[in-house]
Amino acid sequence: MRRRRTTVVVVVIRRVLTCAICAIALLGFLSVHIHIAPFNRLPRLHLNHVRRGDNTNYNKSIAEQSLTKNMYRSESIQEAPFISKPKRYETTEYQSSTSEDINKTQELAPPYISTSPSSKLNITSGIPNYDKLWKPPPNRNFVPCVNPTSDYKSPLESRGYLLVHTNGGLNQMRAGICDMVAIARIINATLVVPELDKRSFWQDTSKFSDVFDEDHFINALSKDVRVIKKLPKGIDAFTKVVKHFKSYSGLSYYQNEIATLWDEYKVIRAAKSDSRLANNNLPPDIQKLRCRACYEALRFSTKIKSMGKLLVDRMRSYGLYIALHLRYEKDMLAFSGCNHGLSASEAAELRKIRKNTAYWKVKDIDGRVQRLKGYCPLTPKEVGILLTALGYSSNTPIYIAAGEIYGGESRLAALRSRFSMLLSKEKLATREELKTFMNHSTQMAALDYIVSVESDVFIPSYSGNMARAVEGHRRYLGHQKTISPDRKSIVRLIDRIGRGTEKDNRNVYERIIEIHKTRQGSPRRRKGPASGTKGMERHHSEEPFYENPLPDCLCQSETSKTR
């Protein structure tokens, strides 16, 4: 009996000791992790996004990724000896010539950004979704090749002066200026620095030097065209002619019709600059000159580059980001006749603007037909559905590259309900920082252009001048990820959801993903005219030169050809 009791006591003691040891071990284990875990999370809170095109192994730790990213940014771009080095818009290019200007802007805290470290946490920059959401398409080693051919000669003696009055918004003027550089070369003219449009819808008083680096523009083109800031004294006495150059004209038109004007005049004034040169069938050296003018000579002014860099840096503080060109401003809707989702009074206001704008030729437009054909910009609500379908999470940082959205913040409610981090230059910077750019739509658009070109993903809601210019620039810089929405398919799917014949669910999202698999900015040749089109319609159906400079200004490097 005693022996049995002794055995029971021993068993109980053993169990108590075993439980005590386990409890002590568990407490020690928990204490270590409670103290260490927060430090392990610190690098993630301060993570800047990985530069696009980085070949980093995304299974590395966050700290290793950050180190690899910094090493990548410091590397020089490799290319074959005969290919010109691409002029990448790294953020350092936007810096002011003096550190004092940068320091002044950095002293002011932007109104939207929280000072809490947790505000920089971006779950969408996590490793698992990188390939699906952020990874650029394969660029197949296409790099800029814009150096002149062996037949290219220094500019011939100038026969006269070419004055240019640009028209339209920032990107319409950019394309026109670059075309006029090529035209000046063709007709042996001295180009006077173009005059920016001050009479259009935006009523912007900016001069060329307010928006672009004038001295760099002149010097960069010195081996191609003689460019001067203004007409020399005494030239006013010479005869002048104002000429509307025909749209989409080729080499023979300028050599045979325009160049003969030098026999009677010493100054030719181009009344408009947009779409005056054909997209295709021009000599290789003229096409390469257009690219050199657009991507190398035409740089933004120092103050715009400096402010643009600041905005890019502040967006990057959140991690990987989307630049959304939300073309939902009053002028765009009035011009296109698109009124889906607007009130009766808003639609009437837009019709009145269209009617009273003399140079908008089409007055009566059926907005419903326009939308079903895919000719309308996506609404903020439609953009929200698109981004959700593509897989971007609700806290994805989105930069709204746009002017004043028609309807204001209330119009953005449907988009904000899906994506809470909607940012803009007005929310990233203080009023003091933006003061010099206010009331100058061209300069404000230039800031949006910089942030869009530098973004990890660019998505335009409409294929206008801004969308085409940014897409072309991103192609030139290595075919960065640019998602071009299929507006016709999207609105039809969304309308079916509205009628109840489709559900807002994964099945619809999979169809949207499938539609956009081939619309992500991968290399392809520029599209020619649509079959069956003739005359001016044929030219209008071509893909614009500055939307896709391949094959004229991009070629595959030697390393790719030998594989």
Contact indicator for 189, 159 with CB cutoff of 8 Å: yes
**CA distances from residue 322 to 44, 400, 453, 468 in whole angstroms, order as listed:** 20, 9, 11, 17
What is the C-alpha to C-alpha distance for residues 210 and 61, in angstroms, rounded to an integer?
Answer: 45
What is the C-alpha to C-alpha distance for residues 240 and 247, in angstroms, rounded to an integer?
Answer: 21
Helix (H) or strand (E) holding 513: helix 506-515
pLDDT of 498 reads 87
Q: What is the pLDDT along the chain (563 residues), one digit of tens a residue?
A: 555 555 555 555 666 666 666 666 655 554 444 333 333 332 322 323 333 333 333 333 333 333 333 333 333 222 322 223 333 333 333 333 334 443 444 444 455 554 343 344 444 444 458 889 999 999 999 999 999 999 999 998 999 999 999 999 999 999 999 999 999 999 999 999 999 998 776 678 999 999 999 999 999 999 999 999 999 988 876 789 999 999 999 999 999 999 999 999 999 999 999 999 999 999 999 999 999 999 999 999 999 999 999 999 999 999 999 999 999 999 999 999 999 999 999 999 999 999 998 888 899 999 999 999 999 999 999 999 999 999 999 999 999 999 889 988 889 999 999 999 999 999 999 999 999 999 999 999 999 999 999 999 999 999 999 999 999 999 999 999 999 999 999 999 999 988 888 888 888 999 999 999 999 999 999 999 999 999 889 999 999 999 999 999 999 987 544 33
pLDDT of 361 reads 85
3-state secondary structure of 200: coil
Contact indicator for 397, 322 with CB cutoff of 8 Å: yes
Total count of residues recorded for the chain: 563
What is the C-alpha to C-alpha distance for residues 316 and 312, in angstroms, rounded to an integer?
Answer: 6
Identify the burial level of 259 via C-beta atoms within 10 angstroms of its C-beta, where 0-12 means exposed, 13-18 middle and 19 or more buried: middle
**CA distances from residue 116 to 41, 46, 288, 380 in whole angstroms, order as listed:** 15, 10, 48, 29
pLDDT of 142 reads 96
* Residue whose tokens read 């779950």: 123
pLDDT of 20 reads 66
Q: How many CA atoms lie within 13 A of 476 on its CB side?
A: 30
pLDDT of 430 reads 96
Contact indicator for 88, 101 with CB cutoff of 8 Å: no
**CA distances from residue 417 to 139, 294, 460, 503 in whole angstroms, order as listed:** 35, 39, 20, 18
Helices 284-292 and 170-186 pack at an angle, to 10 degrees, of: 140
What is the pTM assigned to this prediction? 0.79
pLDDT of 239 reads 82
Domain boundaries, the chain: 160-296, 305-556
Phi, psi of 36 (to 5 degrees): -90, -35
DSSP 163: E
Buried b (16+ CB within 10 A) or exposed e, 502-526: beeeeebbeebeebbeeebbbbeeb
